[in-house]
Homo-oligomer: A and B are copies of this chain.
């Protein structure tokens, strides 16, 4: 128990928790109040044993013979992932992608709120995009520092990504979600994740016929 709560959890397990959470929210929308590792597994295409083992890293959330209380499990997973608070997020890049991100309503109830939208282009600065006014990248450092923003989404052209990432890190950002199709170097203590639709498409074409 006390030993377990200190143990290092494999990163691959952490990566699955958001998927569990997503499926649990869905079950909740369907008015269900209890679920099982089997039901979750069927929906996510993950074995029930894996789900039980993953959850067991954080303590016994379920009840034998019954399963898991959905509300309770959601609450616990949000606690584990530290999203029982709302994180402020900065978006850099007000191109088509940055604009789409800024309009997306899906961050709201999952732990994140977009606080600022930055761009370098003087033509874009000052423009109103949804509920945001595009701010100059030049003021990024001061704003992020001042507001203690820890998370940023990077939606700038590949050629600018490393430079902007450096500025974000310098401003105190500790987690970057990079949409630019290029690998970025950041200090080991800074989290980085990538979204590049083309890599997913290329992964799938390997298996296509013809």
Q: Which residues of A contact B (CB under 8 A)?
A: 14-15, 17-19, 21-23, 26, 43-45, 80-83, 87, 89, 96-97, 99-101, 103-104, 106-107, 110-112, 150-151, 153, 174-175, 177, 181-183, 191, 193, 195-210
Contact between B106 and A96, CB atoms less than 8 A apart: no
The answer on a CB contact under 8 Å between A195 and B205 is no
Cross-interface CB contact of A22 among B96, B101, B191, B199, cutoff 8 Å: B199
Residues of B near A21 (CB, < 8 A) are 202
B18 and A203 contact, CB distance less than 8 A: yes
- How many copies of the shown chain assemble into the complex? 2
Q: How far is the CB of A108 from chain B (nearest CB, A)?
A: 10
In the bound assembly, the distance between CA atoms of A172 and B45 in angstroms comes to 22
Instruction: Verify A200–B208 contact, CB threshold 8 A.
Output: no
Having A17-B203, A18-B203, one finds 19 other A-B pairs with CB under 8 Å, namely A18-B202, A19-B183, A21-B202, A22-B199, A82-B205, A82-B206, A87-B208, A96-B99, A96-B104, A101-B197, A106-B198, A110-B198, A150-B210, A175-B201, A175-B207, A177-B201, A193-B204, A195-B195, A195-B197
Rounded to whole Å, the gap between the CB of A148 and the closest CB of chain B is 9
Please state if B198 and A18 are interface contacts (CB–CB under 8 Å). Answer: yes
Q: Which residues of B contact A177 (CB under 8 A)?
A: 197, 200-201, 204
CB distance from A171 to the nearest CB of B (A): 15
Contact residues in B for A22 (Cβ distance below 8 Å)? 181-183, 196, 199
**Do B201 and A151 have beta carbons less than 8 Å apart?**
yes
If A99-B100, A198-B107, A201-B151 touch, whether A206 touches B81 (CB-CB below 8 Å) is yes
How many angstroms from the CA of A165 to the CA of B127 in the assembled complex? Answer: 37
Q: Name which of A23, A182, A204, A207 has the most chain B CB atoms within 10 A of its CB.
A: A204
Q: How far is the CB of A105 from chain B (nearest CB, A)?
A: 10
